[in-house]
A and B are shown apart, each in its own frame.
Chain A
Amino acid sequence: MINKVAASLSEAVAGIGDGASVMVSGFGDSGLPIELTHALLEQGATALTIISNNAGTGDRALAALLAAGRVRKMVCTYPKSSGAHVFASLYKAGKIELELVPQGTLLERMRAGGSGLGPFYTPTGYGTPIADGKEQRIHEGRGYVLEQPLRADFALVRAYQADRWGNLTYRLAGRGFGPVMCMAARHAIAQVDDLLPLGSIAPEAVVTPGIFVARVVRKDNHG
């Protein structure tokens, strides 16, 4: 029998060790797995590489992990949102490594990683500093940059509904990075608003098939 339901948020993140790479869904606060990031903070893992679109705003979620000194490196596209004061002070103090990636390239690197593809050519960033040190080529008159697939040890994502097989739906544009991160991570953990009995989510309404998901947990299950 397959049962991916974790007993609590803390059990869901128990296996994340020091030095792990962790993808975190969310575009601003939309789709952001706040409860899972707080469970990770309590769990204590450190020297993490966090892969996420933004680098936390205010003092919670990613900003809380950053402020607690748990993050060694951020891989992100836009770490300068208004309210991103925690990342800004770490960055200016030279206390964190930043790998800045164009957003579409980050997404496609994860999609390639999760889909078993190797490096790929994208027109994004051709002739810009992002292409420095990477192979560039012209194909049918257009310039391309060679980019590498990206996987991670874990993903923390916010979905809407799940069943015990790990099938997921998402709420509105909270979908965002969730589906691609579940594919790219070796161990994807989803927090959800609702756990439903197997068979209650219409098969064609499943956005992330359970095969990509290792654990699901209700967002209010503090154990």
Chain B
Amino acid sequence: MAEIKRLSRERLAQIVASEIPDGSYVNVGLGIPTLVARYLNGSKEVILHSENGILGLRGLLEGETGDVDLINASKEHVQLVPGSSICEQATSFAMMRGGHLDATILGAFQVAPNGDIASWSTGDPESVPGIGGAMDLVAGAKRVIVTMEHTTRDGKPKLLERCSFPLTGCAVVTSIYTDLAAIDVVQGSGFVVRGLAQGVSREQVQALTGAELHWCESVATLSH
């Protein structure tokens, strides 16, 4: 098979950020989602939430020093934006579980066409497990957006007919952005592709996906 040109992590993050509406309250997870946050801090007022009780945060500017009591879910130092608020953690999780966040953007190991997501454990009994706030986020956010590489490091599909790893949530994912495609999870249809990385064919993406792909009438081209 010819070499496939995948979207860079930065470009992928930019695409996701561009689809978040102005005025949204959004929680971003580790990895690519953290990059999304960088591209969100632009012209739009998108308010970032961190599970430790911060609503309205931003990354540190160059030369800015951190504060031990201002961190995000990745335990990185952050700063507050004007208009931000801080609450205790149970209230923060009421925002998450209670359907108050417009979107959560997180990574995953596996996603299935029914919206199941596995993101916290590979089932390996030797490794220390950790859940944190992921199960609450996927249970409650209005949109659950997964950003991840389309395949594992050794080329295996991460989009599967059924997740084989322990689930984080069932039937919760609303859309997936990979380095090959933008895919909506549609009840009754499953994976519906609405964007395809420039230069990548439908057959190529299907071959790297462990479940049937459906196609929007007009599939957008995601430029590199």
Interface residues of A (CB under 8 A from B): 27-31, 77-81, 84, 87-88, 91-92, 98, 100-105, 107-108, 110-111, 122-130, 143, 171-180, 207
Contact = CB atoms under 8 A, between A and B. Distances in A.
Interface string B131-154: 111111001100000000000000
A174 B166 CA distance: 32
Given A27-B52, A124-B97, A103 B133 contact: yes
B122 to A, nearest CB: 12
Contact of A173 (B70, B97, B127): B70
Nearest to B116: A127
A159 B1 CA distance: 60
Given A78-B130, A130-B131, A175 B87 contact: yes
Q: Say which size band chain B's interface belongs to.
A: 35 or more
B69 A31 contact: yes
A119 B68 CA distance: 35
Interface string B163-176: 00011111100000
B31 interface: no
Given A30-B71, A173-B69, A124 B170 contact: no
A100 B126 CA distance: 15
Contacts of B93: 103-104, 107-108
A104 B129 CA distance: 17
Contact of B169 (A128, A172, A176): A128
Given A28-B71, A102-B135, 6 more contacts: A30-B69, A79-B128, A102-B132, A125-B139, A126-B169, A172-B86
Contacts of A92: 126, 128
Contacts of A125: 135, 139, 169
26 contacts: A27-B75, A28-B75, A31-B69, A84-B128, A87-B128, A102-B135, A103-B89, A103-B132, A107-B93, A110-B90, A122-B97, A123-B97, A123-B140, A125-B135, A126-B169, A128-B167, A128-B169, A128-B170, A129-B166, A130-B131, A172-B70, A172-B86, A173-B53, A175-B89, A176-B53, A179-B90
Contacts of B136: 102-105, 124
A78 B69 contact: no
B62 interface: no
